[in-house]
Chains A and B, each alone.
Chain A
Amino acid sequence: MSLLSVENLVVRHGLLQAVRGVSFSVERGETLALVGANGAGKTTLLRAIAGAHQPAAGRVLLDGADLTSVPSHSRVGMGIALVPEGRKLFVRMTVEENLLLGRTAGRPGEWSVDKVLEMFPNLKPRRHARTGYLSGGEQQATAIGRALMSNPDVLLLDEVSLGLSPLIVDRVYAALQGLIASGTTIILVEQDLNRALSVSDKVICMLEGRIALAADSKSVSRDEVTKAYFGLHRQKAEPA
């Protein structure tokens, strides 16, 4: 049984249908990259999996349990954590307080404040600083650490490299490689195709709310993904 399954998911923003009947599944320990142009529905899909958007149709299953009507805070307790686009830190709270908030759901596991600070050493001297005063890289590290503190089964990462300098992106991805190597199941939304293909096991390219391409990252060529990205290559949506 797949760890996470999405079945015919439809998500609307008012009259706009942002996600149109998307289906895929992720196995335990896999890394899935979601790529696509702006407005393709990647963020909406990720947020629907996390429970921030209620789908109009379809289901989200975690280990076979239907999460579709479960509120977002309960999904964290069931093992889904989202690192949202734009980090969405609590800027009036310190790094440590943001990290401790990740423990609210009370899932047992290996992650602690000290372990996060070990993973992101640049946060150590900033432990008691308000996150509103951090650099973009430090904020992203805090956002990832906060999600890890909930000891998730599935980690959803939404554009973690957005707005960061290449050097900082390298550092963030070095940390992510460690997570991937440790067997954490990850769904990653990424604009940078090369990075997405290099870190993932599977790739899904979305176009106008639908899956334009679903393939194995190691066997698909960058050219094929680029064609799907721009709508030049479209295959029938089918489970990845």
Chain B
Amino acid sequence: MTNQIIQGILLGGYYALIACGLSFMFSVMRIINLAHGSLAVFAAYALWWLASRLHIPPFFGLLIVLPVMAVIGWALQRFLLERSARGGALLPILTTFGLAIVIDNMLFEQFGADTRSLAPFIGSLSYDSWEWPGGIYVGKLAVIMFATAVILLGGLQLFLTRTRLGRSIRATSEDPDTAGLVGVDARRANAIAAAIAMVTVGLAGAFLGMRATFDPYAGAPQLLFAFEAAVIGGAGSLWGTLIGGIVLALAQTLGAQVHPQGFLIGGHAMFLVVLFVRLSASGLGLRGLLRLPSRSGS
């Protein structure tokens, strides 16, 4: 059981990585980016292309892909999300949904339906492990992923609290109009936040490709995991995202112990329980959710 808990915690690092960008964009721009998973898969394909065609190992490929993802994030915010946000809260969600479909099909057209993986390009790292006391084996890649998640979340936390730009981003997320009145360029702050979110997406895509296989339509499940981890941890909270990722992974691990097909169900069940508790705490329980809107005039 100890082994399962440790594996679950380490897997939580990956979920925290994939949820980090989603949570960050939601907390700053109030946008739920449904293209989040597809963009992670896009980054994985970019690394795979660099590795297979140009023989650039994935860890070095990140030096190219992460800046590209930052530019994509900046451009997405400036030219797409910012404009769609003017049309209300629903329009950016529909826009990113459409963007996900475009990315998925573009990847399908370019790379076909074959599954790919970055594992062949990272040598033995994909299967090497350390033996811990008690006969517990932990994968080196899983440990690296978890450490990356902690460093990334800690770094983001420091950036947001200790730097002028970080404070500007937080102020913009709280009240963009007032942020402008104290000298913060809210458009710039949002674009930089989107660029940072896409860098985290790029990292998550890299680890997705290293730890598993991916195909052009692998984005949707990644989005689901990210969404569940973000909701469990409390959307907008960076350390909450890590806790959310760990709780989701532990629930999946526990589910797999109960039934061979219980891995995903365990995670979904935990997500629903946390969602219900959160809604109940905010005064909107299951009855509130199911309650039909009253007819006008009644």
Contact = CB atoms under 8 A, between A and B. Distances in A.
A50 B178 CA distance: 11
A90 B177 CA distance: 11
Contact of A93 (B167, B184, B186): B167
Given A100-B164, A100-B167, A101-B167, A73 B174 contact: no
B180 A51 contact: yes
Interface stretch (A102-110, A188-196, A229-237): A102-110
B180 A90 contact: no
B175 A90 contact: yes
Contacts of B171: 90, 93, 101
B185 interface: yes
Contacts of A81: 182
B168 A90 contact: no
B36 interface: no
A60 B86 CA distance: 27
A131 to B, nearest CB: 11
B181 interface: yes
Contact of B181 (A72, A93, A100, A103): A72
A82 B174 CA distance: 18
Contacts, number: 69
Contacts of B181: 50-52, 72-73, 76, 82, 84, 88
Contacts of B174: 90-93
A47 to B, nearest CB: 8
Nearest to A52: B181
Nearest to A147: B182
A93 B168 contact: no
Interface residues of A, number: 27
B207 to A, nearest CB: 31
Interface residues of B, number: 18
B178 A71 contact: no
A74 B182 CA distance: 9
Interface in B48-104: none
Main secondary structure of the interface of B (DSSP, over half): helix
Contacts of A50: 181
Contact of B183 (A52, A77, A84, A88): A77
B184 A90 contact: no
B180 A84 contact: no
A184 to B, nearest CB: 17
A90 B178 contact: yes
A82 B175 CA distance: 15
Contacts of B178: 84, 88, 90
A92 B167 CA distance: 11
A104 B168 contact: yes
Contacts of A104: 164, 167-168, 182-184
B185 to A, nearest CB: 5
Interface string B152-184: 000000000100100110110011011111111
Interface of A: 50-52, 71-74, 76-77, 81-82, 84, 88, 90-93, 97, 100-105, 146-147, 150
25 contacts: A50-B181, A52-B177, A52-B180, A72-B181, A73-B186, A74-B185, A76-B182, A81-B182, A84-B178, A88-B181, A90-B178, A90-B179, A92-B170, A93-B167, A97-B161, A97-B167, A100-B164, A101-B167, A101-B171, A102-B183, A104-B167, A104-B168, A104-B182, A105-B183, A147-B182
Interface of B: 161, 164, 167-168, 170-171, 174-175, 177-186
Given A76-B183, A91-B174, A97-B170, 18 more contacts: A51-B180, A51-B181, A71-B180, A73-B186, A76-B182, A84-B181, A90-B178, A92-B174, A93-B170, A93-B171, A102-B182, A102-B183, A103-B164, A103-B183, A104-B167, A104-B183, A146-B182, A147-B182
The 10 closest A-B pairs by CB, nearest first: A105-B183, A76-B183, A104-B183, A72-B180, A88-B178, A73-B180, A73-B185, A90-B174, A101-B182, A90-B171
